[in-house]
């Protein structure tokens, strides 16, 4: 174990007004490194039905940046793999259909797999066939028994969430055609370390992937990690290309060599990050207190999981930050777990005019600031604790 963020609530377990006096369940939020396979993971595994239950509040379509990113990805896959009406695409953790709708528009048959009722219902309204459950090797066998082998399987921002990760990868191997392609996007542990993104750690994110660890996992199941592309989205991600046949790209070979040189297979690399994270948490708290003590008012933007981790891991008095705003109407009227900040609509910023807004969803900071020019034009200022992690 190398990083301890204390006892934290489930980051996406938003509170209803009637729950504010109830005792919230809290769990240790710690990161550990495996010397055998180089994987970084949290030490506490909360059952998936608890994490992704009946009121899972995340809807991907509320981010225009993510919609644009997904549309471009689909266009590239359709061209690269020559997909048409005779092809078949499966997306694991398809959420509200934000990505699959682009395949539908291109005339490519699809199935989405997602356990969350709300997002799954939204996808069905777009005409996307859905299987409302968790993906597993058992489900893959069921699809394969019906002859539903996939030309392409997409699994974006889900491999970090799966407690039975070997079963998950086995399912990929079963579902893929012999010449099929699996595309996975995962947050890249190297970016998390280099940018000190400690607030991307929460119980829902069980694993924090390096390419070294990913390659070892896929090879265990007869699959080959053949390419990796670094992406800026979500604070730094990698797009993995996996097939049943070997063919490692020069780009992947270079990235693996960089990981070895940087020390991603050594605990010292992660202990240095933990020290920097502790320093940053203290610095953030002190800076926010200085702003508040000067008589200025603060709000926050983005009732996101990373915001819950950040605010619950720094020591602020109740009321230091007054509320958080969010574009998602499913979150408005609820409260951020742990710190119990009320969640309000985005137009509150223009009406209420807080002096500063702390951007908790900093991975979409450019989009957020652009969409809230009216607030800034009235003298409001945004604080973005991201990128190279400058002080406030």
Judged on CB neighbours under 10 Å (0-12, 13-18, 19+), 182 is buried
Residue whose C-alpha is closest to residue 284's, from 389, 129, 355: 389
Residue 232 has a pLDDT of: 86
Say if strands 110-113 and 89-92 run parallel, antiparallel, or are unpaired: parallel
Residue 53 has a pLDDT of: 55
User: Are the C-beta atoms of 308 and 2 separated by less than 8 Å?
Assistant: no
d(CA 192, CA 198): 7
- pTM, entire model: 0.84
- Give exposure, 97-126, as e/b (b: 16+ Cβ within 10 Å): bbbbbbbbebebbbbbbbbbebbbebbeeb
Residue 55 has a pLDDT of: 61
Residue 385 has a pLDDT of: 78
Residue found by looking up tokens 């240095």 in the block: 272
Domain segments of the chain: what residues?
A: 40-268
Residue 392 has a pLDDT of: 36
Residue 20 has a pLDDT of: 95
Q: What is 221-254 written as a DSSP string?
A: TT-EEEEEEEE-GGGSEEEEEEESS----HHHHH
Identify the DSSP state of 62: G
Residue 91 has a pLDDT of: 97
d(CA 95, CA 140): 18
Residue whose C-alpha is closest to residue 5's, from 34, 36, 27: 27
- Give exposure, 171-181, as e/b (b: 16+ Cβ within 10 Å): bbbbbbeeebb
In this structure, whether the domain defined by 40-268 belongs to CATH 1.10.287.70 is answered with: no
Q: Which residues of the chain have pLDDT under 50?
A: 387-392
Residue 330 has a pLDDT of: 87
């Amino acid at each position: 174990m190398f990083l301890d963020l204390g006892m934290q609530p489930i980051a996406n377990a938003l509170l209803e007004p009637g729950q504010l006096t109830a005792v919230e369940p809290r769990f240790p939020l710690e990161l550990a490194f495996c010397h055998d396979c180089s994987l970084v993971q949290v030490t506490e595994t909360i059952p998936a039905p608890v994490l992704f239950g009946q009121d899972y509040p995340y809807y991907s379509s509320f981010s225009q940046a993510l919609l644009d990113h997904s549309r471009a990805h689909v266009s590239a896959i359709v061209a690269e793999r020559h997909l048409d009406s005779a092809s078949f695409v499966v997306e694991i953790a398809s959420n509200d259909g934000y990505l699959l709708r682009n395949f539908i528009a291109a005339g490519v048959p699809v199935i989405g797999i997602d356990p969350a009722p709300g997002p799954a219902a939204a996808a069905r309204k777009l005409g996307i066939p859905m299987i409302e459950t968790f993906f597993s090797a058992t489900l893959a066998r069921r699809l394969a028994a019906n002859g539903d082998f996939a030309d392409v399987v997409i699994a974006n921002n889900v491999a970090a969430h799966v407690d039975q990760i070997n079963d998950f990868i086995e399912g990929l191997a079963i579902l893929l055609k012999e010449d099929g392609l699996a595309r996975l996007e995962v947050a890249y542990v190297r970016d998390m370390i280099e940018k000190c993104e400690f607030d991307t750690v929460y119980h829902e994110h069980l694993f924090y992937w390096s390419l070294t660890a990913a390659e070892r996992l896929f090879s265990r199941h007869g699959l080959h990690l053949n390419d990796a592309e670094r992406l800026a989205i979500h604070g730094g991600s990698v797009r993995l290309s996996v097939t049943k046949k070997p063919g490692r790209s020069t780009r992947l070979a270079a990235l693996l060599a960089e990981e070895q040189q940087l020390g991603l297979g050594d605990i010292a690399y992660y202990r240095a990050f933990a020290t920097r994270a502790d320093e940053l948490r203290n610095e953030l708290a002190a800076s926010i207190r200085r702003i508040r003590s000067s008589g200025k008012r603060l709000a926050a933007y983005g009732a996101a999981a990373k915001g819950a981790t950040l605010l619950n891991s720094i020591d602020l008095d109740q009321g230091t930050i007054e509320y958080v705003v969010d574009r998602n109407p499913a979150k408005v009227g609820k409260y951020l777990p742990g710190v119990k900040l009320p969640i309000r609509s985005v137009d509150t910023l223009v009406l209420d005019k807080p002096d500063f807004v702390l951007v908790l969803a900093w991975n979409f900071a450019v989009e957020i600031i652009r969409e809230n020019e009216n607030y800034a034009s009235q003298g409001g200022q945004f604080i973005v604790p991201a990128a190279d992690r400058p002080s406030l």
